[in-house]
């Protein structure tokens, strides 16, 4: 029986940063599920298909291959065989990922891949619906949150670190609010805290504090 730690929460709550460190400390694989929706969103943008158009996207996804490869423990996402890892962190792709992720055919494809990976390896998986839908039997579930101001600051810092020349904080905040609403109001597997997840508000906490809080919780879940 494989062990899975589910970490869910809205954009900018700090999921990927802490999930990566938790996975390293536990010797587990880290799986960033958002990257899969981002790859699907990128494909729609490239082909000029509106990512919210259910019938066109359902056709598109049937002929799209999204897969994950791990190189020295680091996740790479492949879109029809092309490594698009470096192309999926832009604001337009974030919004397209949120729009396309509401379409059931897309979710079901990605969830199948996520469950397959977790059946083969011990994982720390982050996303929106891991504890509620993808892995309802995960051994430990965490829901990370933070205020909108803090999440906006973190996303701006991340974009700057990735080399963005101008970062418009108001636009970043609007994108996050749009995605929060979109991700938590879709019909299938919306962003939600699982009833048995532990809520961790990361506002004002250091990364190391959050990692330690989660590791304590993981030890408690295992005992």
Asked whether position 34 contacts ligand DC by CB under 6 A, the answer is yes
Pick the closer one to ligand DC by CB: 11 or 211: 11
Least CB distance to ligand DC at residue 223 (A): 28
Q: Among residues 75, 85, 101, 132, which is the contact residue for ligand DC, using CB under 6 A?
A: 101
Q: Among residues 97, 103, 135, 205, which is the contact residue for ligand DC, using CB under 6 A?
A: 97
Place of tokens 């359902």: 58
User: H helices of 12-145, where?
Assistant: 15-26, 34-47, 54-62, 91-100, 104-120
Asked whether position 132 contacts ligand DC by CB under 6 A, the answer is no
Give the range of 126-134, 147-155, 192-200, 215-223 binding ligand DC by CB under 6 A: 126-134
Number of residues this chain uses to bind ligand DC (CB under 6 A): 15
Asked whether position 150 contacts ligand DC by CB under 6 A, the answer is no
Q: Among residues 20, 128, 141, 154, which is the contact residue for ligand DC, using CB under 6 A?
A: 128
Least CB distance to ligand DC at residue 20 (A): 13
Rounded CA gap, 60 and 49, in Å? 9
Rounded CA gap, 109 and 104, in Å? 9
Rounded CA gap, 146 and 144, in Å? 7
Asked whether position 11 contacts ligand DC by CB under 6 A, the answer is yes
Pick the closer one to ligand DC by CB: 31 or 218: 31
Rounded CA gap, 189 and 134, in Å? 9
With a CB cutoff of 8 Å and minimum separation 6, the contacts of 123 are 2, 3, 4, 5, 23, 28, 29, 30, 31, 117
Asked whether position 30 contacts ligand DC by CB under 6 A, the answer is no
Least CB distance to ligand DC at residue 8 (A): 7
DSSP letter string over 102-133?
TSHHHHHHHHHHHHHHHHHS-EEEEESSIIII
In the complex, the residues that contact ligand DC under the rule CB under 6 A are 11, 33-34, 37-38, 94, 97-98, 101, 127-130, 179, 183
């Amino acid at each position: 029986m494989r062990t899975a730690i589910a970490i869910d929460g809205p954009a900018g709550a700090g999921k990927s940063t802490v999930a990566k460190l938790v996975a390293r400390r536990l010797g587990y694989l880290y799986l960033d599920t958002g990257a899969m929706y981002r790859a699907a969103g990128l494909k729609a943008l490239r082909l000029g298909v509106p990512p919210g158009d259910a019938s066109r996207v359902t056709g598109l996804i049937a002929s799209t291959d999204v897969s994950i490869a791990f190189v020295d423990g680091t996740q790479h996402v492949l879109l029809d065989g092309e490594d698009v890892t470096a192309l999926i962190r832009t604001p337009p792709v974030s919004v397209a990922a949120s729009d396309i992720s509401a379409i059931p055919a897309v979710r079901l494809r990605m969830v199948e891949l996520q469950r397959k990976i977790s059946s083969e390896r011990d994982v720390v998986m982050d996303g929106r619906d891991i504890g509620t839908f993808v892995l309802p039997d995960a051994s430990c579930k965490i829901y990370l949150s933070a205020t909108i101001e803090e999440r906006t600051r973190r996303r701006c810092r991340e974009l700057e670190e990735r080399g963005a020349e101008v970062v418009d904080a108001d636009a970043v905040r609007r994108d996050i609010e749009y995605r929060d609403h979109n991700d938590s109001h879709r019909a299938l597997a919306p962003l939600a805290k699982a009833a048995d997840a532990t809520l961790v508000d990361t506002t004002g906490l250091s990364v190391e504090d959050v990692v330690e809080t989660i590791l304590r919780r993981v030890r408690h879940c295992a005992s």
